Amino acid sequence: MRLGALTGGGEEAIVTGFAIDHRKVAPGTVFGAFQGARVNGEEYIADAVRSGAIAVVTRPGVPVEGAVGIVDDNPRERFARAAATFFAPFPEVAVAVTGTNGKTSTVEMTRQLWRMAGAHAASIGTLGVTTADERVTTGLTTPDVVTFLSNVAGLAREGITHVAFEASSHGLVQYRTEGLSVAAAAFTNLSRDHLDYHGDMGAYLTAKLRLFSEVLSPEGTAVVWADDVHAARVIDLAQARGNRLVTVGERGSTLRLVGRDPTLLGQGLAIEAEGETHRVTLPLIGGYQAANALVAAGLVIATGGDVARTIADLARLQPVRGRLERAAIARSGAPVYVDYAHTPDALEAAIAALKPHAGGRLIVVFGAGGDRDPGKRETMGQVAQMQADLAIVTDDNPRTEDPATIRAAILKGATNAREIGDRRAAIAEAIAEAGPQDIVLIAGKGHEQGQIVGDMELPFDDVSVAREYAA
């Protein structure tokens, strides 16, 4: 591709790639120089040019010497759309999921349902890039736009026709998921999270809504979990844009949940659709897992899936890594679950999912991440104190904060909780404490394979540790 195809000019230079990190620039690269929260890419323009950048996308007034300057009031968006032109083509069908909780489970369930229907499908998000036979970890809910677009283009070359991806609030604000034609966009729910970045709930919601106001194709479909308090905002936006609407949940009109009966290892669902009542056994426990499954079904239906078959296929869904994953059975007979819940709402949902299955006590081990919204810590403590029978407060990913300070903030809301800073010791005590009728929930880290302490990531896997002590 010649540079002129991206600028609209007559530049003959051949574009070889895109980069937003000056250390990844090679001859022929288009460099994106943006102001970030911690790093200002504009300061590295000269370094990028010395490394061979032939063009720099940046905002007006920023000097660019030795390369073509591509100037835009919104340089992130301009860069993303240029990169999409370079990396295309992409899979035929792309859908995106946003919301505070449930994104990872929903995109993975969507991939599974597509696969059951015969499509070559993949999902992209917190768990990495997942296909029928391969997973590549990216380490971010929404990777940078260059990684994202190159991954999606690579999937298309491998024969993937359908891709579902997570659209985080950070990713939407920073234009990390631009360039694809998004056929359907889903909203799961909204609760407090990432306020250290967005500032307040209004800004956080606005970031999420950008998926529906700008990213979703004008001819696309909005899939909405109608039972969330913020669902009306998404529905109103979709209707104002003229998008097709698929609503799911107890208040949904496309897939209406009219019954949910917990079973030992799952739940029976009664779903009204197209004038009929469909009954299916979902092999996952918890109300929020039913919500994720229905949103995933809505996405599949929105992209041409048969309604009756999609609902029936819910019975074959597999658990998602670190999302109410049953990690082990203790020698006492108590099951041990691991969940990614790291917000008050998610912790409450995980506890509510397990509570009906506990003949005895529900024991919860949890903490809160450092260098993240401190305002949620006491609330998480309150949730655990009110909903769990025994709460053990431990360390999550303290990062650069003092772990004891984080635990103290949680304990303000959980005055009856035990405090065991060492996460391994906390998990060991919870499992040793559990009787045959009890359930243990280890919350906060889910699928993560490390614990971030200071500037180091130490190997740590809740599932592996749980299995070690359960044995």
Model pLDDT for residues 370-412, shown as the tens digit of each residue: 998 899 999 999 999 999 999 999 999 999 999 999 999 999 9
Residue range 185-207: mean pLDDT, rounded:
72
> What CATH superfamily classification does 4-73 receive?
MurE/MurF, N-terminal domain (3.40.1390.10)
Q: Answer yes or no: is 176 a known binding residue.
A: yes
Here the tokens at position 22 are 């000056």
Q: Answer yes or no: is 100 a known binding residue.
A: yes
As a whole number, the mean pLDDT across the chain is 92
Q: Answer yes or no: is 210 a known binding residue.
A: no
Here the tokens at position 296 are 């995933």
pLDDT > 70? residue 201: no
Domain 325-470 adopts which CATH fold?
Answer: Protein-Tyrosine Phosphatase; Chain A (3.90.190)
- How would residue 137 be classed by pLDDT, with cut points 50, 70 and 90? low
Q: Answer yes or no: is 310 a known binding residue.
A: no
Residue 386: count other Cβ atoms within 10 Å of its Cβ. 12
Pairing of strands 362-366, 390-393: parallel
Measured CA distances, 65 to 8, 22, 70, 104, 367 (Å): 20, 15, 12, 43, 49
pTM: 0.82
Q: Answer yes or no: is 105 a known binding residue.
A: yes
Of residues 363 and 127, which shows the higher confidence score?
Answer: 363
Residue range 363-369: mean pLDDT, rounded:
98
282, β-bridge pairs: 267
pLDDT in the model for residue 264: 66
Residue range 303-326: mean pLDDT, rounded:
94
Q: Answer yes or no: is 418 a known binding residue.
A: no
CATH for 88-316 is: 3.40.1190.10
Q: Answer yes or no: is 399 a known binding residue.
A: yes
Q: Cα(283)–Cα(263) distance, rounded to whole angstroms? A: 9
Q: Answer yes or no: is 398 a known binding residue.
A: yes
Domains 4-73 and 325-470 share a fold: no
pLDDT > 60? residue 228: yes
Here the tokens at position 93 are 């069908």
Estimate to the nearest angstrom the gap between the alpha carbon of 128 and the chain centroid: 10
Q: Answer yes or no: is 191 a known binding residue.
A: no
Q: Answer yes or no: is 372 a known binding residue.
A: yes
- How would residue 288 be classed by pLDDT, with cut points 50, 70 and 90? confident
Residue 287: count other Cβ atoms within 10 Å of its Cβ. 16
Q: Answer yes or no: is 104 a known binding residue.
A: yes
Q: Answer yes or no: is 177 a known binding residue.
A: no
Q: Answer yes or no: is 448 a known binding residue.
A: yes
Q: Answer yes or no: is 321 a known binding residue.
A: no
- How would residue 175 be classed by pLDDT, with cut points 50, 70 and 90? confident
Q: At what angle do helices 344-354 and 377-387 cross, to 10 degrees?
A: 20
**pLDDT tens per residue, range 248-271:** 999 999 999 999 998 767 899 999
Burial class (CB in 10 A: 0-12, 13-18, 19+), 199: exposed
pLDDT in the model for residue 198: 46
Q: Answer yes or no: is 128 a known binding residue.
A: no
**pLDDT tens per residue, range 17-67:** 999 999 999 999 999 999 887 789 999 999 999 999 999 999 999 999 999
223, β-bridge pairs: 186, 246
Q: Domain ranges in the chain?
A: 4-73, 88-316, 325-470
Residue range 184-211: mean pLDDT, rounded:
75
